[in-house]
Amino acid sequence: MRVSKADGSQATDLQRDALLEAGVEPEALYEDKASGKSDDRPHLAACLKALRAGDTLLVWKLDRLGRDLRHLVNIVHELTERGVGLKVLTGQGAAIDTTTASGKLVFGIFAALAEFERELISERTKAGLASARARGRKGGRPYKMTPAKIRLAMASMGNKDTNVGALCKELGITRQTLYRHVSPTGELREAGQKVLAQRR
């Protein structure tokens, strides 16, 4: 069971009643109060962990389980490999019951759509990067380090009295980022060389 808000404005009574009526024991009910997009759903994690081969996971509606289609497919794939079924009681996914042949077929269509979605996203990403490169732009995460920051870091690290923590705070970077670009003695490292080369 899941509701999106933990402030008491939403209740799981309807879901609870439907699951109990379907034969779920009260002690086998799991409830999260979190957005469907949230990764932090401890009771879902506990539920998935408790399932054993031969069990069937019952959910009221499909959107109570997964964040998106890909997440759902991954969950069901993992359950299937463990010999666990999935049954959806109502809503758009009510035809899904992976313990039956027809239910497996329906979910197979879902899985194919998820794979299609992944390929589309991949194609769009590649096309976008190619278009950006054609215009002279390079893809990827922007550098936290700039040539000016690197030169300041080199000069500061060359001074043995430099407070590394204060320097990182001033530059807005972590120690890991600093040491990846500049050595403790102020010498330029490979990552730093790349930044300077990119900005020429």
With a CB cutoff of 8 Å and minimum separation 6, the contacts of 186 are 153, 154, 155, 156, 157, 158, 159
Contact yes or no for 36/63 (Cβ under 8 A):
yes
4 is catalytic: yes
Supply φ then ψ for residue 2, to 5 degrees. -155, 140
* Candidate list 4, 38, 102, 131, residue with the active-site label: 4
Contact yes or no for 30/57 (Cβ under 8 A):
no
Contact yes or no for 174/165 (Cβ under 8 A):
no
Catalytic residues: 4
